[in-house]
Structure 1
Amino acid sequence: MEPPLSSPRPFRSLTFSLLPLVPLALLGACATQPASHPDMIAYVVIGEQGAAIARVVTAAASCPALTADGTPLAMAVRALPATLALRPTGSKPEDSKPSAFPLLTCEAALPAGAASASVDGQALPVPRAAPQRIAVLGDTGCRLKKKDNDFQECNDPQLFPFATVAAAAAAWKPDLVVHVGDYHYRENACPEGNAGCAGSPWGYGWDAWNADLFQPAAPLLKAAPWVAVRGNHESCDRAGQGWWRLLDPRPLLPGRDCNAAVNDTNGDYSDPYAVPLGGDAQLLVIDTAATTWKGYKPGAVGYEKYRDTYRKLEALSQQAAWNIGLTHHPILGVGAELKNGAYEWHKGDLGLQQSFGSVNPRLLPDKVQAMVSGHAHLWEQLSFSSGHPSQFVAGFSGSAEDTVPLPAALPPEALPAPGVAVEHFSTWIDGFGFMGLERTGPGDWDVTVFDRHGQIKNRCKISGKRSVCDVAQVK
């Protein structure tokens, strides 16, 4: 049994061309050292066991020059420019189109411990062995979805504020960025006459990826390496092709690239991996893109795939005393809709609860102290007296927000999973921002909830598996 947790301190329009992005993406670097690839976006993703992968997306015909600690390194082609054949998607055929990626994607592994790296004179962020400050954001794209008649006003920075959030997170100067999934939301064409999203790119090609992620996130991509968690919007029948080309740190393999629906069983699932944080702590990155809140029947492909994920997760968790799990879907989170004046509760993801729970009824490995997720478009914290890890939800960084206020205390019918007992619960509904994690001890973290401008809205403390926040309901 862990000791009681003390209270925390009190408050103290776009095209395929990259040229319009240069001032944002390079942030003035080219003014002092002209690059031979001025139309380039460069960033770093973190993969298995903390391996750092430098990525470049460029309109040039060849990969640029990369140096690490002054030593030249060759970049390899990850993906050639291509327009991919139309595949079945989550939309009707008349609301879909082939995914065009007219740019070259290049990559190279950075040497472990590199102190500096650059591509054609543009500095790349290099990983720290023991990052102390981690910026967390999620659910960042601008929703354009005909099926739900849901069209966010992408042209209004007040209503689609991801660029503001990303700039504030970059100004916080993180050592590492964690995105908990759902980068891409521009699935269908903006309706004619809708000024709020008029002119927006749509579909699953580069132009929509650029508008939803790379352009607004430019300063944050420059600020620190990213741990990219896959969301359901990056499943194969949605933006999975771009996920594998642009963000996943592992090799891009034929049959795992989401190009052909017949291979989706390979493309929709991938093994968990660990990212060391130093000090006997690590992140566990878990791909839950294809889970279902409706749950599985025993023997279903997803059920067996996630049972296998759990076993591998358990093995990875033994590598460190302190583990923070990263999933897009919150296994222990809570949301709600109001129907006829009553709450209709959205509890923790049932597909994960069933598959993980069939291996371990407590749902998660014993050494996992906290889970950090997205999917629900809000910020949330839950701590449990039942020995379950704390759950944080940070799906509040750009996509249209959930607006149903949750009660200060959850009623019994709203508990996220069988066998849990909620001890502390905190929420922020209908507000955009990001979350900061700062390590203060072996199993201790300070959590800060920031609004879109970087102003503090809440503070929390994590100690072991338990957490508590200053404010139960952020206004």
Structure 2
Amino acid sequence: MPPLFSVSVRGALLAAFATLSGCAALAPQPTLSSFVVMGEDGAGVARVLTAGAACPTIRMDGVDVVMSVRSPAATIAQRPTVSLPKDSKPSAFPVLACEARIPAGTARASVGGQSLPLPRASPERIVVIGDTGCRLKNTGDYQDCNRPDAYPFARIAALAAAWKPDLVVHVGDYHYRENACPADRPGCAGSPWGYGWDTWDADFFTPASSLLKAAPWVMARGNHESCARGGQGFLRFLDPRPLQNGRDCNEAANDGIGDFSDPYPVALGDGAQLIVFDTSSTTYKELAPLDARMAKFADSYRKMEALSRQAPYNIAVFHHPILGFGATRDKSGAVSLLNGDKGLQDAFGTIDPGLMPKAVKAVLSGHVHLWQQVSFSSAHPTQFISGFSGTLEDIVPLPETLPETAQPAPGAMVETLSSWVDGFGYMTMERTDAEQWAVKVWDTEGRVRNTCTLTGSKSRCVKRQVY
């Protein structure tokens, strides 16, 4: 289904409603986006973003309920960001964000006649995507956001929706249009930039619209949603928790609160669950022992371990791969491997040298802009990376056969590795048994490019490399 409004039409509507805000009698206000996010207690939360002055009514099993205001329309004063002040601006959010908890057992829910996808007790078909925004960064990384072949997220979302998933897992990094497109780049000419609604709409809500209608979402937070980047929009629109003053990324003085959140479970039924973990403020560089993040991530690890005791089979969901590889090429052409996220390894390793709770059998991540599977002969969970769904791709291939000494983390002995570099797509997981999943890797033509099996903590793929 095409988006309810194009980016340009949405902008015109918002301008019109801003002009007419003093009028008493207006036609029904447009819903700019409606979707369901899985909450921290595993419940579904309906979210509606509207240009109207009041939240709409949600109908659940024939009963009408007025949705609550999550965040009012506002323009947030310019704050320090990862960019220089001259390359930043205030964040304008001329939209009202509304929400309503969906009681367990609800059979039907709709807003303005638009049906909402409802959580299933035992989702069996899961789409995994990540790193979906279009990169505009004044370090020289400019993606042609206006060209679907260069930025194919809308097509990927539509293909994933057509697969009819029960659940969508986004492993983080929704927002990438941080700086203005240069005047000499027609491929991104006219693109919004910054951290306000217009950019969030162009980078996520418009291209993702078909998939938002298809199934509830699990929304992990990436480093592009840290407070110094797109954190304001993430917390206003996507985070499953109630929005709190001070934990909103509006003021840099509160980033020590806004950049962290506790892990939470999402039940998958039949003894399995996801555990969603916020790693937005980690670093691939080492964390010093007295770095405040060490204590915060260690505390989150303990909470993740406690949550993992609720189910015999756990899949962790966090943006930065702790057990995956990346690769770089120097000026001479030599390729060097990059190991898993060092910040998380430092923090988790102070509690558990194995880095992950024993009941966690697999990890879903993004951050590295490729697809990857790693399984271990040591007692480590399988790592999947699904960071290939829209953002400018990594292009340095991983070796088909790793050097004998290659370990993404100390003691992590690789048994099998599969990868796809420089190709856009999405990943699906279809449950075939209590602790078994059939994994497929799809391209932008809807073709399966690799198949894998995940059984317990071990996985194996048909192809070592996708070309």
Question: The residue matched to 1:426 in structure 2 has which SS?
Answer: strand
Question: The residue matched to 1:414 in structure 2 has which SS?
Answer: coil
Specify the alignment match of 2:385 in structure 1.
393
CA contact (8 A) 1:18 1:40 kept: no
**Cα distance in 1, alignment partners of residues 111 and 358 from structure 2:** 42
Question: The residue matched to 1:243 in structure 2 has which SS?
Answer: helix
TM-score by length of structure 1 reads 0.93
Letter in 2 for 1:293: Y
Specify the alignment match of 2:251 in structure 1.
260
**Cα distance in 1, alignment partners of residues 13 and 137 from structure 2:** 26
Q: How does 1:69-84 map to 2 (within 5 A)?
A: 69-84=61-76
Gaps of 5+ in 1: 1-12, 22-34
Q: Deviations over 1:374-421 (max 9, x none)?
A: 000000000000010000000000001001111112114431000011
RMSD: 1.3
Q: Aligned match of 2:36 in 37, 44, 51?
A: 44
Is 1:296 the counterpart of 2:287? The answer is yes
Is 1:59 the counterpart of 2:51? The answer is yes
Specify the alignment match of 2:24 in structure 1.
none
**Cα distance in 2, alignment partners of residues 378 and 40 from structure 1:** 31
Specify the alignment match of 1:85 in structure 2.
77
Specify the alignment match of 1:228 in structure 2.
219
CA contact (8 A) 1:16 1:102 kept: no
Question: The residue matched to 1:316 in structure 2 has which SS?
Answer: helix
Specify the alignment match of 2:422 in structure 1.
430
CA contact (8 A) 2:11 2:198 kept: no
Q: How does 1:61-210 map to 2 (within 5 A)?
A: 61-146=53-138, 148-210=139-201
**Cα distance in 1, alignment partners of residues 12 and 111 from structure 2:** 17
Question: The residue matched to 2:350 in structure 1 has which SS?
Answer: helix
Deviates further, 40-49 or 382-391:
40-49
CA contact (8 A) 1:295 1:351 kept: yes
How far apart are residue 354 of structure 1 and its match?
Answer: 0.5
**Cα distance in 2, alignment partners of residues 118 and 474 from structure 1:** 41
Letter in 2 for 1:393: I
**Cα distance in 1, alignment partners of residues 426 and 409 from structure 2:** 26
Specify the alignment match of 2:442 in structure 1.
450
Specify the alignment match of 1:213 in structure 2.
204
Q: Deviations over 1:285-324 (max 9, x none)?
A: 0000000001111121111110001000000000000000
Specify the alignment match of 1:17 in structure 2.
10
User: For residues 18 and 437 of structure 1, do their structure 2 counterparts lie closer, same or farther at Cα, with a shift above 3 Å needed?
Assistant: farther
Q: Deviations over 1:78-112 (max 9, x none)?
A: 11110100000000000000000001110010111
Percent of matched pairs sharing the same residue: 59
**Cα distance in 2, alignment partners of residues 265 and 38 from structure 1:** 36
Gaps of 5+ in 2: 1-5, 15-26
Deviates further, 85-94 or 332-341:
332-341
Letter in 1 for 2:381: P
CA contact (8 A) 1:15 1:207 kept: no
How many residue pairs align between the two structures? 449
Is 1:374 the counterpart of 2:362? The answer is no
Specify the alignment match of 2:261 in structure 1.
270
**Cα distance in 1, alignment partners of residues 244 and 30 from structure 2:** 29
Report which structure shows greater RCO (CA 8 Å, sep ≥6): 1
TM-score by length of structure 2 reads 0.94
Q: Aligned match of 1:329 in 320, 339, 356?
A: 320
Q: Which runs of 4+ in 1 moved over 4 A?
A: 18-21
CA contact (8 A) 1:130 1:278 kept: yes
Deviates further, 413-422 or 278-287:
413-422
Specify the alignment match of 1:244 in structure 2.
235
User: For residues 313 and 444 of structure 1, do their structure 2 counterparts lie closer, same or farther at Cα, with a shift above 3 Å needed?
Assistant: same
